[in-house]
Amino acid sequence: MITLTHFLVVSACIFAAGLYAVLARRNAIMVLVGIELIINAAILNLVAFGRYDRGQYGGQVFALFAIVLAAAGVAVALAIILNVYQHYQSINPDDIRDLKDQ
């Protein structure tokens, strides 16, 4: 039987992979993927803990809201990345030093 510990270990592995993707930061898309992995690890924790709350379904409700917010965040982040690429012709975060309007 799959216990809560199994869910938490998988979630910790997903979180670690997302944290590595954010810290390695080869380009802005990888940073965005890393942030999404971190959010997915949190959603997995919400669903895992919600499994033991049979009456209220609080974990599943919060997970649904987190998924909606993550989708909206990705849409905004991709729009920002496209605008930065148009201006700097690069999506490498190290190449982008200032975002002031010239």
Q: What is the pLDDT of residues 53-75, one digit of tens each?
A: 777 878 888 899 999 999 999 99
Q: What is the pLDDT of residues 15-65, one digit of tens each?
A: 999 999 999 877 888 888 999 999 999 999 999 988 887 778 788 888 999
What is the domain partition of the chain in residue ranges?
4-88
Whole-angstrom Cα distance, residue 26 to residue 17? Answer: 14
CATH architecture of 4-88: Orthogonal Bundle (1.10)
CB 77 within 8 A of CB 32: yes
Whole-angstrom Cα distance, residue 51 to residue 59? Answer: 7
CB 63 within 8 A of CB 50: yes
Instruction: Please state whether the predicted TM-score (pTM) of the whole model is above 0.85.
Output: no
